[in-house]
Structure 1
Amino acid sequence: MAALSDTFKIVYKILPRAEWEGAVEAGTYAGSADDLRDGFVHLSAATQLAGTAAKYFHGKSDLVLVAFQAEDLGPALKWEPSRGGELFPHLFSDLPADKAVAVYELPLGDDGVPLIAGGLL
C-alpha cells in the first residue's frame, strides 16, 4: 500500500454490537449482508465516518465503531473510489478481530444518526 496521510492510517467499521461480539468469538468478521454482496468489507477513514453513519445507519441502535491500523490489514486492504469518487478502504478478506485497536459505543443522536464524537478519533 502506498504511504498514506495520517487521516488514512486508521480505518473504521460501524456494525451492530452483536455482530462484533460474534466476530470476537469467531476470531474474524466476514462482513454484513452488503459486504458479502459486494465481495469486500466496507470500511471508512475518520473523515468519512459521519457520512457513513448518516447514510447507512440512521435509526439503528446498539452499534459499535471498531478501529484498525490500516497497515495491520495487509495487502487485502485497497483504497477504491466510492461515494462521489472519494477513496474508501475496502478489505478483500475477513476482518481479523484481534487486529482491532479500539471499540467505541455509538449512541444515537436526537436526529437518529449515530454520534461520531470527535474526541474518539
Structure 2
Amino acid sequence: MNMTSTYPTYIYKIIPSVAKPPSPLPEVLPVSDLDQRDGFVHCSTSKQLLGTLNAFFSNESHVYILRIKYEQVAPYIKWEDAVGKQPEEIGGCWDTEGKAGFFPHIYNGLKVGKEEVDDVGEWRKGSEGWSGEDWCWGEVDRPI
C-alpha cells in the first residue's frame, strides 16, 4: 500500500453485542464467520468505523470494540481495498468504490487475543444512529 501519511496508532475490530469478549481476554478470541471465510481478521481505522457499523451492524444497539495497537500487529497487516468487490465476496466490503481507502487486515492465522488487544470498549448507538459522539474512548482517535 502506498500511504501518504503515517500509520494509525490503533486499528479496531468490531464485535457484535451477542459475542461479548470475556474478561480477562483469552490467548485467542473466536473469529467471525466472515473472518473465517476470508482467512484474515477484518479491521477498520477510526475513520472507517462508522461506515462499517452502518453497513454491518445497523440493527445492533451496541457493539464491542477491540482496540489494537497498530505496532503490535504491523508485521501481519495487509492494507487492502475492496474496489469492485461486493460484501458477500471474499475480501469484499461495504466500500465497493474505495472511498474509505485501504482497510487493515490482519493475516496471522486468525489470532486476536490478549497479546494483540490493547483495550475493549462498549460502543452504544445513539438515538440518531451510530455516531462518534458516543465513542467509548472519549477524544482518543474519535471516529468522524
Contact 1:66 1:100 in 2 (8 A): yes
User: What TM-score comes out, normalization by structure 2 length?
Assistant: 0.68
Larger Rg: 1 or 2?
Answer: 2
* Amino acid in the other structure paired with 1:21: P
Change over 3 Å in CA distance of 1:11–1:72 after alignment to 2: same
RMSD: 2.7
Name the CA distance, whole Å, in 1 between partners of 2:46 and 2:124: 17
What secondary structure sits across from 2:11 in the alignment? strand
* Amino acid in the other structure paired with 2:106: L
Name the CA distance, whole Å, in 1 between partners of 2:119 and 2:50: 18
Unaligned runs of 5+ in 2: 83-94
Change over 3 Å in CA distance of 1:23–1:102 after alignment to 2: closer
Partner of residue 21, structure 2: 20
Identity of aligned residues (%): 29
Unaligned runs of 5+ in 1: none
Shift of 1:41: 0.6
What secondary structure sits across from 2:61 in the alignment? coil
Name the CA distance, whole Å, in 1 between partners of 2:7 and 2:75: 18
Shift of 1:77: 1.2
More strand by percentage: 1
Change over 3 Å in CA distance of 1:30–1:3 after alignment to 2: farther
Shift of 1:4: 7.2
Change over 3 Å in CA distance of 1:92–1:79 after alignment to 2: same
More helix by percentage: 1
* Amino acid in the other structure paired with 1:54: N
User: What TM-score comes out, normalization by structure 1 length?
Assistant: 0.79
